Chains A and B, each alone.
Chain A
């Protein structure tokens, strides 16, 4: 006969209410993990969207996202010729403001070479870019429809929306758009400050406006990544980052900025949960002092009594956890921030919860084992 289950069943309403409260608390812990996961995921979005194996950027920089990187437009040809590089594509990244229906619309524009790495990955409507100018693929969140025309840049070139994507957003939630590399370079040129533009036009620095921010390389499956990367070091004006390095770099920034706060909030919440669970277990045990004394009197071993307390604590924690998780998942779409709940962090919260419950039951167990059956039953009741 499972006494923990019987007691829960007998006091079902109390159990449900306690569990609900606990599930809110554990839900908050899960939300915090989700927000943190979301922030890292956001930071990595652009880098992941490119589906790169290697990033070739300006020497000495952590480009193209964490730092500015400018390299000559012909870099892609250099990279393509390196042994082991299967495909390579030049890309530019820039933020532009445009206006749509009287409202300003920030866009993150990717310039890419159609048919080469770095382009849009999956379209939900429309087609790929086919012409070399003035075609535009954009995330649906921009509010643009297929065939709609929008002007980008100071000269107001009209771009026609030919394709739509979903969930292609920047870390700050701006929609991403794709245009051809030539269009992007032209926009970049006309948007750069006049002094720099004059210098660029006169052939100073990097030649003309034929600049790109990075080259994305896909490596042949039978050639080691490191081999290709080391072959690329022969050009002193370039730096090569693997996708893993790129992601580490980008998440490091987020982690540096917010991990301490997240960790602090997590630790506080875990302490609060532990204290609350311990108090609940303690009061549940207090309520049962007479029953525990009776059990001792009739000859129940300590293991039965400890089992009663630990099982109740665990079932409270485990139910609370899953209800909390359920609530978070159910209300996820309504959260102001995107949550990313990966299996690893979600199960970590689970094991922390179980650990808390076990730790919290020690207080109740100590009380239960100390109960003196003769004293507890001395009074009437």
Chain B
């Protein structure tokens, strides 16, 4: 059957995460199960403190879950103990992370902020620079590639940060409120961009957002409340169930 051939990019099964012990214990995530396929753009919504960032960090292998499993592109993470260095490598190769704030390295110019991840992944400097240039052009900040972060506007810096997240052609892109510091039109531009990347690069994208204006850009929206997923994911806008996913029948 066609859908059997699609391997999920992200599979989260019975994931729980708590912080602290005893009376100070916070159950940030409780029994989360969700699946994201390549090419999908998933929204994650919920009130502040509901566990959105924690979930994203768990998927990004930055936080170790208390229980449950996460499978990224076929690799089961945390099932057996992974070395921190192996997790970093996995993150470098498979995951692109977009923060609410660009978090660019202040001492590198736009181009180098992108090529640093290629450099770390073992690209030759010239190849890394060329790819960084392409990405920045693609994100329409190519003209600012020699500017340092402090010389960039918020929107420009965010696009450089997105270019960095895309540099290694990750299968998974995680974005934590990437549109929060942007105005509505710019937020829509960024969302359209993520949409395009999902389609063009067949990446699975999870976006945490508060922004009601961009909800139509998601395939599914998960609602988090007190660390639990509420009800079934709502398919809005371009919603595609795995079986009818465009890539299911190439």
Contacts and interface: CB of A to CB of B under 8 A. Distances in A.
Report whether chain A binds chain B.
yes
Interface of A: 1, 3, 6-7, 9-11, 290-291, 293-302, 304, 373-374, 377, 380-381
Classify the secondary structure of A's interface with B: helix
Interface residues of B, number: 34
Nearest to A4: B107
B101 interface: yes
B99 to A, nearest CB: 6
6 contacts: A6-B108, A299-B88, A299-B92, A299-B93, A301-B85, A301-B88
Given A300-B120, A374-B63, A381-B101, A10 B107 contact: yes
Contacts of A6: 107-108, 112
Given A7-B107, A290-B103, A377-B103, A299 B117 contact: yes
A298 B97 contact: yes
Contacts of A381: 101
Nearest to B90: A299
Nearest to A5: B107
Nearest to B104: A294
Given A298-B164, A380-B101, A291 B89 contact: no
B89 A301 contact: yes
B88 A300 contact: yes
Contacts of A291: 105-107
B204 interface: no
Contacts of A297: 60, 62, 91, 97, 99, 103
B101 A298 contact: no
B115 A374 contact: no
Given A298-B92, A300-B88, A374 B117 contact: no
Contacts of A11: 107
B57 interface: yes
Contacts of B115: 1
B116 interface: yes
A1 B93 contact: no
Closest 8 CB pairs of A and B: A299-B92, A10-B107, A299-B91, A7-B107, A299-B88, A1-B119, A294-B103, A291-B105
B85 A302 contact: yes
Contacts of B128: 1
Contacts of A373: 62
B148 interface: yes
B120 A298 contact: yes
Contacts of A301: 85, 88-89, 120
A290 B103 CA distance: 8
B125 interface: yes
B120 A304 contact: yes
Given A380-B100, A381-B101, 13 more contacts: A1-B128, A3-B108, A291-B106, A294-B105, A298-B120, A299-B90, A299-B91, A299-B93, A300-B88, A301-B85, A302-B85, A374-B57, A380-B101
Nearest to B116: A1
B132 to A, nearest CB: 11
B103 to A, nearest CB: 5
A364 B60 CA distance: 26
Contacts of A380: 100-101
Contacts of B57: 374
Interface centre among B92, B104, B106, B112 (most CB of A within 10 A): B106
